[in-house]
Amino acid sequence: MRRNQVAVVGAAETTELGVIPNMSQIQLHADAALNAIADAGLKLSDIDGIATAVETPQQIAHYLGITPTWVDGTSVGGCSFMLHVRHAAAAIEAGLCKTVLITHAESGKSMIGKLPRSTPADSLNGQFEAPFGVYGPPSMFPIPVLRYMKTYGITHEQIAMVAVAQREWAAKNPRAMMKDPITVADVLNSRMIAYPFRLLQCCLVTDGGGALILTSADRAKDFPKKPVYILGTGESVETPMVSQMETFNSSRAFKVAGPTAFKEAGITHKDVDHLMIYDAFAHLPLFGLGDLGFMPHEETGKFIADGNTRPGGKLPLNTNGGGLSYMHSGMYGMYALQESVRQMRGIAPAQVKDAKISVCHGVGGMFAASGTIIFTNEK
Amino acid sequence: MAEPARAKPKPTPETQHFWDGTQAGELRLQRCDACANVYFPPRPFCPSCASRKVSVFKASGKGKLYSYVINHRPAAPGFTAPYAIAVVELDEGPRMMSNIIDCPQTPEALELDMKLEVAFEKLDDKITLPLFRPAKG
């Protein structure tokens, strides 16, 4: 893919975030989509490409009244939307469609119109993981972290600082769910969920959604809002079984998706002004900093504990407050993308001054998949 | 009313040998006849070189604790919190998820890299699970 050929021209979240008991999951998709279409100054009939995850693209297209010429239903967990951006950019460049709508929404808290998830007893997960008492993401996602900590000498206090730093960002964001300041002691004294992780190291569970509109860079200059260009993209998958990762010291999917995006963008780590790393749990920013090549894994814990990612730090990370403090409907990738776009438009509540390049890195499943999108506001 | 039971595996044709093994008190793995790669979970080809010439063999049942969490809430059906969900690195190379028995479910007792040995827990006439306990001696 060539750089800067495709741009985001519309971006919006649902009108409300948090607890939304008066909307079904599909209506949350529509709310986000209509907000993004209005943001782009478009009509529904202008949309000729559609992508979504969990809900099917045919469901969303029918509900909204869209007749697409390009469809993507890639559903690899919470980073599906990073993959949609990558695929949409390629499709627009290839001339398969002109204007793509990507939607996400989940009734994660209120559970209205939410599709059931199950693990069949004859699947590989059903045979070789479920019988040993895994029960939801908190019992699975942190499984690698003790090995990671032992290998690299990372401390409990350093990982607690991930939550503390992100709460500082959330305090600046009126839409964040959790804004009260917290300390390392608060994190380490909060209720135990799955050792070594406690409540404040686990993401929120909320209702909400978001949507993006992409089109070619040539058309983007005629849109009402400042275009945000796609500079580089990457994606990969590893395994749906957390126990079968190649190593717990790294994510193979991260190590493919991240560097692929950096190479395509033609940038170095020094060029990055703003970084989002999908933080369903507090260890993910550490894995991300190491696997994306910002520093050796041995240094990730100290880097965060020293305050480099907090407000005023040299590498602003998860500036909306992240999945730990902003919101998390179950699939957080769309909210990370929204914050990168806000930062590149210069309208984020905790705006990073003069930011020109934003890296947005996602994870799907329990380290099962990954997608990375690098944005810029300079053509 | 009976207590809810833990999730029970349902074997498929490609995994039946593994579950036949646990029922017979053996931990069975597969090895590629072409490249000697030992792998898990079961499948009728080598995920390293794609050869379909693979053999089933009896593993030593020995391994070490690679990583774990101690789940406090919510407990899966059939479990009482807190309980450890562990990943064991077998001496033959592959890793598998399991539970650690005959051991306190605490960070002090569950030391990474501690030596483990397989133990078998019969769920019913068809399914026996491979669990692990601290190795003796």
Q: How high is the pLDDT of residue A4?
A: 86
Buried b / exposed e along A146-168 (16+ C-beta atoms within 10 A) = bbbbebbebebebbbbbbbbbbb
Cross-chain Cβ contact B129/A131 below 8 Å: yes
Contact call for A195 and B12, based on CB within 8 A:
no
Q: At what angle do helices A284-291 and A156-170 cross, to 10 degrees?
A: 100
Provide the pLDDT for residue A1. Answer: 64
Identify whether residues A175 and A43 lie together within a single domain. no
In this predicted structure, the answer to whether residue B3 has a pLDDT above a threshold of 90 is: no
Whether A133 sits inside 8 A of B79 (CB atoms) is: yes
The verdict on residue A299 lying in a domain is yes
In a domain, residue A120? The reply is no
Distance from CA of A300 to the nearest CA of B (A): 20
Asked if A195 and A218 sit in the same domain, the reply is no
A174 domain-assigned:
yes
pLDDT tens for A201-222 read 999 999 999 999 999 999 999 9
Q: Is A266 in the same domain as A364? A: yes
Cβ separation of A147 and B67 shorter than 8 Å?
Answer: yes
Distance (Å) from the alpha carbon of B2 to chain A's nearest alpha carbon:
18
- Please check whether residues A261 and A218 belong to one and the same domain: no
Distance from the Cα of B79 to chain A's closest Cα (Å) equals 7
pLDDT at A116 over 90: no
Q: Is residue A45 part of a domain?
A: yes
CA gap A256, B103 in Å, rounded: 39
3-state secondary structure of A14: coil
Cβ-in-10-Å burial (0-12, 13-18, 19+) of A118 comes to exposed
pLDDT tens digits, residue range A237-284?
A: 999 999 999 999 999 999 999 999 999 999 999 999 999 999 999 999
Cβ separation A243–B10 shorter than 8 A: no
Examine the domain organization and report whether A102 and A141 are in the same domain.
Answer: no
Average pLDDT of span A121-126: 97
Contact A368, A278 (CB under 8 A): no
> Three-state SS for A4?
coil
Whether residues A214 and A340 fall in one domain:
no
User: Which among A40, A70, A6, A327 has a CA at the least distance from the CA of A211?
Assistant: A40
Length of chain A: 379
pLDDT at A347 over 90: yes
Nearest to B96 among A142, A194, A243 (CB): A243
Mean of pLDDT values over A280-290: 98
Residue A2 has pLDDT above 80, yes or no: no
pLDDT reading at B1 higher than 60: no
> Are A268 and A143 members of one domain?
yes
Q: Does a structural domain hold residue A127?
A: no
**A158, A298: one domain:** yes
Using alpha carbons only, how large is chain A's radius of gyration in Å?
19
Tens of pLDDT, residues B26-46: 999 999 999 999 999 999 999
- Chain B residues with CB inside 8 Å of A195's CB? 69-70, 72, 82, 107
H/E run at residue A156: helix A156-170
- pLDDT for res A117: 79
| pLDDT mean over A141-159 | 98
> Cβ separation of A146 and B112 shorter than 8 Å?
yes
Contacts of residue B78 in chain A, CB cutoff 8 Å? 133
Question: What's the whole-number mean pLDDT along residues A126-134?
Answer: 97
Could you tell me how many residues make up chain B? 137
Structural domain contains residue A353: yes
| Per-residue pLDDT tens over the stretch A3-47 | 889 999 999 999 999 999 999 999 999 999 999 999 999 999 999
Q: Identify the pLDDT of residue A261.
A: 98
The pLDDT of residue A88 is 98
Cα of B23 to nearest chain A Cα, Å? 15
DSSP B36: -
Q: Which residue has the tokens 């070189």?
A: B49
pLDDT in tens, B86-105: 999 999 999 999 999 999 99
| Number of Cβ atoms within 10 Å of the Cβ of A179 | 17
Round to whole Å and give the CA distance between A122 and B78.
19
Domain with A39, as residue range(s), is 6-115+207-229
The minimum CA-CA distance between B134 and chain A, rounded to whole Å, is 17
Looking at the fold, whether A310 and A340 belong to one and the same domain comes out as yes
- pLDDT band, very low/low/confident/very high, at B137 (cuts 50, 70, 90): low
- Report residue A57's pLDDT band, with 50, 70 and 90 as the boundaries: very high
pLDDT at A118: 86
In a domain? residue A121: no
Q: Does B82 touch chain A (CB under 8 A)?
A: yes
CB contact under 8 A, B129 and A241: no
Nearest residue in chain B measured CA to CA from A146: B67
Q: Does the global pTM surpass 0.95?
A: yes
- Tell me whether residues A121 and B76 touch, CB distance under 8 A: no
What's the pLDDT at B2? 59
Residue B36: both structure tokens together: 């000697």
CB contact under 8 A, B74 and A143: no
- For chain A, say whether B37 makes contact (Cβ under 8 Å): no
Q: How many domains does chain A have?
A: 2
Q: Do B96 and A128 touch (CB under 8 A)?
A: yes
Percent over 70 (pLDDT), chain A: 100
pLDDT of residue A115: 82
Can you give the pLDDT at residue A196? 98
What would the pLDDT profile of A78-94 be if each residue is shown by its tens digit? 999 999 999 999 999 99
Query: CA A169, CA A239: separation in Å to the nearest integer?
Result: 32
CATH code of the domain in which A85 resides: 3.40.47.10
**Contact status of B76 with chain A (Cβ, < 8 Å):** yes
Average pLDDT of span A118-123: 94
Shared-domain flag, residues A224 and A244:
no
Whether A61 and A145 map to the same domain: the answer is no
In a domain, A1, yes or no: no
B97 touches chain A (CB under 8 A): yes
Asked if residue A177 has pLDDT above 60, the reply is: yes
CB–CB contact A243 B97 (8 Å):
yes
Asked if B69 is an interface residue toward chain A (Cβ–Cβ < 8 A), one would say yes
Give chain B positions within 8 Å (CB) of A122: 9-12
The H or E element that residue A253 is part of is helix A252-265
Residue A156 and residue A295 share a domain: yes
